Structure 1
């Protein structure tokens, strides 16, 4: 398989965040594993692969794998290549900026609604995540930071109690994590952690106005980060 790398072992973020989530179905497990491989460039942009190869690589059967790939195709992280298999989509800065324009609106909605509707459990989780994210950035542990960032998004989406916004936003977050990972040397992990932590703190403190402003500030940073990637071309 072209450009395959070994999937990194789970690190301490999984121990920090034992959120007692329900067990994943095989299709959900396949989706989670493959999405992480794509986000962390273990399946690099432009990589062509077959279902059979990927099934052996992650040790998951073809049926749940196919379901996962259908989701990833719908989210535009992979595309079908007739008679060749499937390919991980390329990174595109113009598309990334359009994505952020959409994400800005959805993230603001999720942040303000989460601040109003979060349960005590959600608020405790967000406080824990804010601390863990800051620690991961201080340790320069990008892999852990990415897992924690994904968990932050999940808790905020769940706390917002708006399944339509959450469903629309989840794939946008995956694309953003991949873009960040690809151009991480052009950014500041500590600054990103501080902005994420500020957002989670406002939500945890039942502050919708502050959460909305923090969300917009984070999006401003991500747009600047994306535009800075143009300098690398």
Structure 2
């Protein structure tokens, strides 16, 4: 059983979603595999209602497929998927970066600093799971700073798919370079430089697309 650290301020549905998303991203729930609701409840140690709501959200994001009277299937994963994901992400990521640089607050700046430190520590430890967790923290800080729920919601699903592709096709490869690009993006956001933030977001997408192109040829 995998249990999220308990935090009374975090709704059970959110904890269920985070736990199940991590299991999909890290392939603990393997692409194309079949699972049941009861199995997921047992794995994460949360009740039926939050798990069901989390499953529905993951299905909406395209990570799970709910088949009536049949069960739940983890969405298959192919090398070419990553290219499409990055192409879809690029414009949204640049928009979020610009908006974050415009609206970033001192509180969110603290979250950026923590996430930047976490991703650098993950690189030093060659810890892919920690690296992806830090990547998610950066994405969430960027979304909060940008203050655009429509763009943030669209980006979040694509980011989850992208992390799953990273784990499947690249693992520890490229972590240091990718972390450096994240840190550069954070710095431009904290400096309030909208144009530089957009440029750095574009550079990050270029880097990920290069990896995706390699994965697509395997």
Q: Please state which band the TM-score falls in when normalised by the shorter chain.
A: over 0.9
Q: How far apart, in 1, do the equivalents of 2:51 and 2:118 lie?
A: 31
Partner of 1:104: 90
Measure the CA separation in 2 of the matches of 1:185 and 1:104: 22
After the TM superposition, which of the residue ranges 170-179 and 186-195 deviates more from structure 2? 186-195
Unaligned runs of 5+ in 2: none
Count the aligned residue pairs: 217
Aligned residue number for residue 68 of structure 1: 54
Deviation at 1:197, TM superposition (A): 1.0
- Could you list the structure 1 runs, at least 4 aligned residues long, displaced by more than 4 angstroms after superposition: none
SS of structure 2 residue aligned to 1:168: helix
TM-score for the superposition, normalised by structure 2: 0.93
Match of 2:130 among 118, 131, 144: 144
Which residue is equivalent to 2:27? Answer: 41
CA contact (8 A) 1:157 1:166 kept: yes
Determine if contact 1:186/1:225 at 8 Å carries over to the other structure: no
The offset of 1:185, in angstroms, is 4.2
Q: What pairs with 1:1-233 in structure 2 (closer than 5 Å)?
A: 7=2, 23-185=9-171, 187-232=173-218
Aligned to 1:3: none
1:67 Cα shift?
A: 0.6
**Would the aligned equivalents of 1:124 and 1:204 in 2 still touch at CA under 8 Å?**
no
Q: Distance in 1 between matches of 2:125 and 2:13?
A: 33
What is the root-mean-square deviation in Å for CA atoms of aligned residues? 1.9
Give TM-score scaled by structure 1 length.
0.87
Q: Deviations over 1:135-172 (max 9, x none)?
A: 21122011111111111100000000111111111111
Task: Write the distance in 2 (CA, Å) between the matches of 1:135 and 1:150.
Answer: 15
Question: 2: distance between equivalents of 1:127 and 1:64?
Answer: 31
Deviations 1:26-63 (A, max 9, x none): 11111110001111111111120110111112111111
| Structure 1: unaligned runs, 5 residues or longer | 1-5, 15-20
